[in-house]
Amino acid sequence: NQVETVGSNQIIKVGSNQVEKVGIIRALTVGVAYQTTVGGIMNTSVALLQSSQVGLHKSLMVGMGYSVNVGNNVTFSVGKTMKENTGQTAVYSAGEHLELCCGKARLVLTKDGSIFLNGTHIHLEGESDVNGDAPVINWNCGATQPVPDAPVPKDLPPGMPDMRQF
């Protein structure tokens, strides 16, 4: 066992390489501020679980590209407002079912090419034209079909909840 106490300041300079290995647990408590600066590449690998809590605000700035790859599910929960802004093109793609909901309004796109638009009031307005072409156009005849429910995920690991319920 080793215990060190430094009264005020400590500076450690290592000329080339430094390796630390901790057998079981490492805990670090910093009273006010913590900063890490890496001159080139930084990689973090976590075998099972990583979690982060921020009390007030978190920001992330990436110079060129940002990529996220998730094996199964992603859930975002925002208390008030979520805004996305894309300078040129935004593409949202889904393999089976894409859904946009707000209150009683709902837009659903399915993989067979069907588009369902439901709401208490639907307004279509074109500054110059509103066009519709199809071999048959059914208007006010009861031919609409109900909006399909989102499919149940087939590849949920055991014990993983279906995130559509939250």
pLDDT tens digits for 45-95? 999 999 999 999 999 999 999 999 999 999 999 999 999 999 999 999 999
Q: What is the 3-state secondary structure (H, E, C) of the chain?
A: CCCCCCCCCCCCCCCCCCCCCCCCCCCCCCCCCCCCCCCCCCCCCCCCCCCCCCCCCCCCCCCCCCCCCCCCCCCCCCCCCCCCCCCCCCCCCCCCEEEEEECCEEEEEECCCCEEEECCCCCCCCCCCCCCCCCCCCCCCCCCCCCCCCCCCCCCCCCCCCHHHC
Compute the Cα dihedral for 152, 157, 158, 163 and give only its sign: negative
Across the range 2-29, mean pLDDT stands at 95
Q: What is the pLDDT of residue 124?
A: 85
Mean pLDDT taken over the chain = 90
Q: How confident is the model at residue 156 (pLDDT cuts 50, 70, 90)?
A: low
For the full predicted model, state whether its pTM sits above 0.85. Answer: no
Whether the predicted pLDDT of 11 surpasses 60: yes
Percent of the chain with pLDDT over 70: 92
* Contact call for residues 141 and 127 (beta carbons, < 8 A): no
Residue ranges covered by each domain of the chain: 94-122
Amino acid at site 145: Q
* Contact call for residues 105 and 120 (beta carbons, < 8 A): yes
Six-digit token pair at 136? 């048959």
Whether the predicted pLDDT of 157 surpasses 70: no
